[in-house]
Structure 1
Amino acid sequence: MTYSFDFASLLPHWHAFLDGLWLTTQLSIATTVLGFVFGTLVAIGLDSKSWVTIPCRIYVELIRNTPLLVQLFVVFFVFPSLGWKISALTAAVIALGMNLTAYASEVIRAGIQSVHVGQIEAAECLGLNKAQVYWHVILTPAIEKVYPALCGQFVLLMLASSLTSQISVDELTGIAGQIQSETFRSFETYTVIALFYLILAFCMRFGLWLLGLVLFTRRRRLGTSI
């Protein structure tokens, strides 16, 4: 059995590929920002040792122990049945953001717990108030320590955004499904999509590396932002 490769048949659909790539990029950026911000807040709640810890722990365990695809379906199908009408793209951002929040919170919490109590006591002796101690001595160094692990979670979520095609979001995988159904060139279509994801992952890692150099002075000196 022989197979004739024909990548040229995909050229008329180049604009669709770019549209899918752009939507995947937007989706990744939006969910990365949401996941990091809310993940930090949940991590603080987990480490607070107050009543807030219980709902934060329930949320993290619920999200981390259920499939992302199920979470997408819950947001997309269940929320509208409760009266909250949302688009497929909005549902994708919410579900992906919720998922990343849970995983990022555990990573950041590990960084917070790695800060030695002696550093906190030294900062208090220098006259820093609680907000200054938490920001300068606990949170900022904690995020710096776990930044490489966070970057890995961001890239993994970008790749997992392919699942949003199941709720009709026209990102890269969704576009690939449409193109291969028109051209009947599944191998060529998904090979091109795989290359796009590979390029996007490298670009995302490079962008996060540059961001790490800007944010963290010590890592900038060492050249190891990731």
Structure 2
Amino acid sequence: MNLRLDFGVVLERWPLFLDGAWMTLQLAVLATLFGFALGALCAVGRRSGPPWLAKLCGGYVEAIRNTPLLVQIFLVYFGLASLGFSLSAFTVAALALTINVGAYTTEIMRAGFDSIPRGQLEAGECLGLSQRQVYWHVLLLPAMERVYPALTSQFVLLMLASSVTSQISAEELTAVANYIQSDTYRAFESYITVALFYLALSFVMRLGFWGLGLVLFPRRRRLGTPL
């Protein structure tokens, strides 16, 4: 077997890889922000909402967690098109990823909420805090602190899972690699290069979450607890 690698012809197209990496990072950031908001709201709905809302949030979580992400992307892509909504592949990809990660965030945040003792909430009420203040200072932030490592891992996995959005022509990293390998006939080199880009993006996201954790949770910073 004679394997001859030639990365030169692939690396000549480095601007395409940078564009793909930028789109991948944009998708990850948008889905992380909106997915966390959706997941936190659904977790509150499942835990403290009326029965109909708890069942609705529970149905959403089970439906998303028990179907493939690719199928969900196709449902959003073709479903919106059949309803007459003409959206870009980027918008559809961000929406589908948000819906997907929101379900997983719901369960992670619900576990965090369940770890907060009931007496802690009652103490906040006794101190005269409003319901909004109790939810923010006594429930949400402490719960998020406890499940922060799980959340960050889920969001990094989301970034990696964004590769399947290439199936609807979203021009992220995997789509760029597909195009370059078909143009250069250097499949192995193309996918090795794109794998290195994914490794770099994972490192950047984990570093960003580490820095964010230091800002959000000063108690952990003082105690030296890993984030």
**2:96 aligned partner:** 95
Q: How far does the alpha carbon of each residue in 1:138-191 deviate from its partner, in whole angstroms, 9 at most, with x for none?
A: 111011111110000000000000000011111000000000001100111100
**Cα displacement (A) at 1:49:** 4.3
2:12 alignment partner, SS class:
helix
1:52 alignment partner, SS class:
helix
> In 2, are the aligned partners of 1:213 and 1:223 still within 8 Å (CA)?
no
**2:62 aligned partner:** 61
Q: How does 1:188-199 map to 2 (within 5 A)?
A: 188-199=189-200
1:77 alignment partner, SS class:
helix
Which consecutive unaligned segments of at least 5 residues does structure 2 have? Answer: none
> Aligned equivalents of 1:124 and 1:88: distance in 2?
47
**Cα displacement (A) at 1:195:** 0.6
Matched, 1:39 2:39: yes
**2:22 aligned partner:** 22
> In 2, are the aligned partners of 1:47 and 1:53 still within 8 Å (CA)?
yes
> In 2, are the aligned partners of 1:108 and 1:146 still within 8 Å (CA)?
yes
Q: How far does the alpha carbon of each residue in 1:72-116 deviate from its partner, in whole angstroms, 9 at most, with x for none?
A: 001111211121221111110010000000000110011011100
2:79 alignment partner, SS class:
helix
1:32 alignment partner, SS class:
helix
**2:13 aligned partner:** 13
> In 2, are the aligned partners of 1:31 and 1:96 still within 8 Å (CA)?
yes
> Aligned equivalents of 2:207 and 2:74: distance in 1?
32
Q: How does 1:102-181 map to 2 (within 5 A)?
A: 102-181=103-182
Higher mean Cα deviation, 203-212 or 129-138?
A: 129-138
**Cα displacement (A) at 1:225:** 5.3
1:160 alignment partner, SS class:
helix
> Aligned equivalents of 1:214 and 1:170: distance in 2?
33
2:13 alignment partner, SS class:
helix
> Aligned equivalents of 1:199 and 1:11: distance in 2?
16
Structure 1 ranges of 4+ moved more than 3 A: none
Higher mean Cα deviation, 213-222 or 93-102?
A: 213-222
**1:215 aligned partner:** 216
Letter in 2 for 1:42: C
> In 2, are the aligned partners of 1:212 and 1:225 still within 8 Å (CA)?
no
Which consecutive unaligned segments of at least 5 residues does structure 1 have? Answer: none
Q: TM-score, normalised by structure 2?
A: 0.96
> Aligned equivalents of 1:157 and 1:80: distance in 2?
24
Letter in 2 for 1:47: R
Letter in 2 for 1:194: A
Q: How far does the alpha carbon of each residue in 1:28-63 deviate from its partner, in whole angstroms, 9 at most, with x for none?
A: 111111101111111111111412111111111111
> Aligned equivalents of 2:71 and 2:5: distance in 1?
36
**Cα displacement (A) at 1:126:** 1.9
